[in-house]
């Protein structure tokens, strides 16, 4: 499968005041590794970073594992950006921009999985 381009929001700041902040769109690339059955596996490139994601369902919801970052967390549904942002930020290992890139990639993948399955 060909790489998939997607967009995610990034907050840019020119100072400390909230009016000095703007939200811009950045692009990322999802390279599917395995999306035919669970656990799913993709590689993501966004904002100069790369991530290897393994995710799927478990007995009480969904999970995300990032073997290249030695971390993982529970997920809500892939399309639930707010809850998944909180779960990933609570790992304490990712900054806001990387977390947004991953969460919006998962959101994009949720639509693709509905189409595939």
Return the CA Rg of the chain: 14
pLDDT beyond 80 at 117: no
Instruction: Please give the pLDDT value at position 21.
Output: 80
* Nearest Cα to Cα of residue 8 among 83, 95, 105: 105
Quickly list DSSP for 52-86.
EEEEEEETTEEEEEEGGGTEEEEE--TT-HHHHHH
- Provide the domain limits for residue 66: 4-116
Instruction: Please give the pLDDT value at position 12.
Output: 83
pLDDT in tens, 12-53: 877 677 677 888 999 999 999 999 999 999 999 999 999 999
Q: How many domains does the chain have?
A: 1
Instruction: Please give the pLDDT value at position 23.
Output: 87
Instruction: Please give the pLDDT value at position 35.
Output: 96
pLDDT in tens, 48-85: 999 999 999 999 899 999 999 999 999 999 999 999 99
């Amino acid at each position: 499968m060909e790489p998939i381009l997607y967009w995610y929001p990034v907050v840019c700041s020119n100072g400390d005041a909230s009016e000095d902040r703007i939200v811009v769109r950045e692009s990322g690339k999802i390279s599917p590794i395995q999306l035919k059955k669970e656990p799913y596996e993709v590689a993501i490139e966004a904002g100069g970073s790369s991530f290897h994601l393994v995710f799927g369902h478990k007995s009480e919801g969904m999970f995300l594992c990032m073997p290249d970052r030695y971390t993982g967390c529970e997920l809500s549904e892939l399309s639930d950006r707010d809850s998944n942002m909180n779960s990933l930020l609570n790992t304490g290992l990712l900054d806001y921009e990387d977390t947004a890139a991953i969460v919006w990639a998962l959101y994009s993948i949720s639509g693709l999985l509905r189409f595939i399955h």
